[in-house]
């Protein structure tokens, strides 16, 4: 199973901001249960989509050398329902970035209309304050994840070297 | 910005902790420990540090908050407990913290228990003074 909740990575400005797109489709199974008579994109999965967009932004800022893990959902508010057939746009910007962690601000829109705001905190877990050790391989930015960046490259963004 | 009084620093730290940890204002006393009394987990420290840096326009390097080089130094640690030399080094590196309780059982896995609201206020005060 590929736990990837963005369809296309659109743009990145290193260490500053990034954007991604997600098309909401009735072909996705979860919408049939959420809800059978009134399918809606679950806000929890929009938070995941933002975490993936912002996570790539934070990872790219340090050349994908760090394992970037979502540490905390600092704030999430949703103002509008999202239905099948709509296209979500995720925009994430770095608020603070240090050796140990990053905080990001995020906006989700459909056709320029605000759907929600999701602010997150990420940990560079090898630099964690508890001194815990993790496996050496980068299990965050796996091949499946990095393939998303290929979609970005194919759309003219050639700055990221894989 | 005019120099903040200690009370103003405390009020700002309190508001930061209320926002970051969803605790009640009256729970945030000088003596309250972040992990034990206010329920902070290690990941909350990242959030709290970011919020304090923004609120006070200061930098709070992780190695100054918790000096890992001391806690991982084999000369200072026996069986995950700090020895006397380690405690002395820690006191020098963490002047903002009250280590009197920690000294009774200097288990390095319990180091985050030394962070009280008061110690955070003192850390911020020192950083603001450095900035001048």
pLDDT value for A152: 67
Judge whether A150 lies within some domain: no
Q: Which tens digits make up the pLDDT trace of A38-59?
A: 999 999 999 999 999 999 999 9
Least confident span in A19-28, A85-94, A122-131, B78-87: A122-131
Which residue of A lies nearest to B109 if distances are taken between CA atoms?
A130
Q: Which SS3 state, helix, strand or coil, does residue B77 take?
A: strand
Averaged pLDDT for residues A123-144: 74
Q: Is there a contact between B50 and A101 if contact means CB atoms under 8 Å apart? A: yes
Which residue of A lies nearest to B54 if distances are taken between CA atoms?
A96
Instruction: Return the CATH number at A78.
Output: 3.10.129.10
Judge whether A151 lies within some domain: no
Chain A residues within an 8 Å CB radius of B62: 98-100, 127, 129
Which residue of B lies nearest to A119 if distances are taken between CA atoms?
B47
What CATH architecture applies to the domain B6-131? Orthogonal Bundle (1.10)
Judge whether A160 lies within some domain: no
* Range list of H helices, chain B: 6-21, 42-56, 62-65, 68-71, 84-93, 100-104, 117-131
As a whole number of angstroms, the distance between CA A162 and CA A160 comes to 6
The dihedrals phi and psi of A71, each to the nearest 5 degrees, come to -95, -35
Q: Which tens digits make up the pLDDT trace of B42-97?
A: 889 999 999 999 999 999 988 888 888 898 899 999 999 999 999 999 999 999 88
Mean pLDDT of chain A: 88
Bigger pLDDT: A79 vs A153? A79
Domain spans in chain B, listed from the N-terminal domain onward: 6-131
pLDDT at A84 over 80: yes
Chain A residues within an 8 Å CB radius of B45: 129
Task: Examine the residue annotation and report whether A34 is marked as an active-site residue of this protein.
Answer: yes
Asked if residues B33 and B118 have their Cβ atoms less than 8 Å apart, the reply is no
Judge whether A17 lies within some domain: yes
Of the candidates A121, A110, A103, the residue with the CA atom closest to the CA atom of residue A40: A110
Averaged pLDDT for residues A137-145: 73
pLDDT value for B66: 84
pLDDT value for B50: 96
pLDDT value for B1: 59
Bigger pLDDT: B88 vs A155? B88
Averaged pLDDT for residues A134-139: 73
Q: Which domain, by its residues, includes A36?
A: 8-139
User: Out of A32, A34, A124, A155, which one is annotated catalytic?
Assistant: A34
| A95 pLDDT tier (thresholds 50, 70, 90) | very high
Judge whether A162 lies within some domain: no
Judge whether A49 lies within some domain: yes
pLDDT value for A149: 73
Residue in B20, B40, B43 to test binding to A, most A beta-carbons within 10 Å:
B43
Mean pLDDT of chain B: 92
Of the candidates B89, B14, B95, the residue with the CA atom closest to the CA atom of residue B55: B14
The model's pTM is 0.86
Q: Is there a contact between A131 and B72 if contact means CB atoms under 8 Å apart? A: yes
By CB atoms closer than 10 A (0-12, 13-18, 19+), residue B41 is: middle
- DSSP symbol at B14: H
pLDDT value for A138: 73
Number of domains in chain A: 1
Q: Which tens digits make up the pLDDT trace of B13-37?
A: 999 999 999 999 999 999 999 999 9
pLDDT value for A130: 63
As a whole number of angstroms, the distance between CA A70 and CA A47 comes to 11
Element (H, E) at A154: helix A143-154
pLDDT at A162 over 60: no
- In terms of phi and psi (left: phi > 0; alpha: psi -120 to 50; beta: otherwise), the region of A15 is left
Q: Which SS3 state, helix, strand or coil, does residue A122 take?
A: strand
Q: How far is B80 from chain A (nearest CA, A)?
A: 12
């Amino acid at each position: 199973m590929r736990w990837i909740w963005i369809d296309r990575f659109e743009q990145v400005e290193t260490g500053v901001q990034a954007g991604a797109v997600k098309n909401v489709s009735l072909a996705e199974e979860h919408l049939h249960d959420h809800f059978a008579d009134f399918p809606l994109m679950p806000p929890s999965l929009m938070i995941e989509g933002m975490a993936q967009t912002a996570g790539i932004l934070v990872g790219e800022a340090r050349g994908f050398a760090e394992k970037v893990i979502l540490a905390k959902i600092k704030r999430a508010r949703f103002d509008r329902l999202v239905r099948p057939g709509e296209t979500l746009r995720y925009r994430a910007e770095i608020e603070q970035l240090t050796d140990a962690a990053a905080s990001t601000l995020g906006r989700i829109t459909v056709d320029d209309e605000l759907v929600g705001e999701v602010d997150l905190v990420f940990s560079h877990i090898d630099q964690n304050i508890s001194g815990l050790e993790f496996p050496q391989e980068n299990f965050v930015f796996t091949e499946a994840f990095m393939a998303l960046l290929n979609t970005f490259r194919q759309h003219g963004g050639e700055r990221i070297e894989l | 910005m005019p120099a903040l009084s200690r009370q103003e620093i405390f009020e700002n730290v309190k508001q930061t902790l209320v926002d970051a940890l969803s605790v009640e204002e009256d729970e945030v006393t000088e003596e309250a420990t972040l992990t034990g009394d206010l329920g902070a987990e290690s990941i909350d420290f990242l959030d709290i540090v970011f919020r304090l840096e923004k609120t006070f326009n200061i930098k709070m390097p992780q190695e100054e908050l918790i000096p890992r080089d001391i806690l991982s130094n084999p000369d200072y640690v026996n069986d995950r407990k700090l020895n006397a030399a380690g405690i002395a080094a820690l006191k020098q590196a963490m002047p903002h913290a009250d280590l009197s309780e920690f000294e009774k059982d200097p288990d390095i896995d319990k180091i985050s228990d030394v962070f009280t609201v008061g110690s955070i206020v003192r850390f911020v005060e020192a950083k603001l003074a450095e900035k001048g």
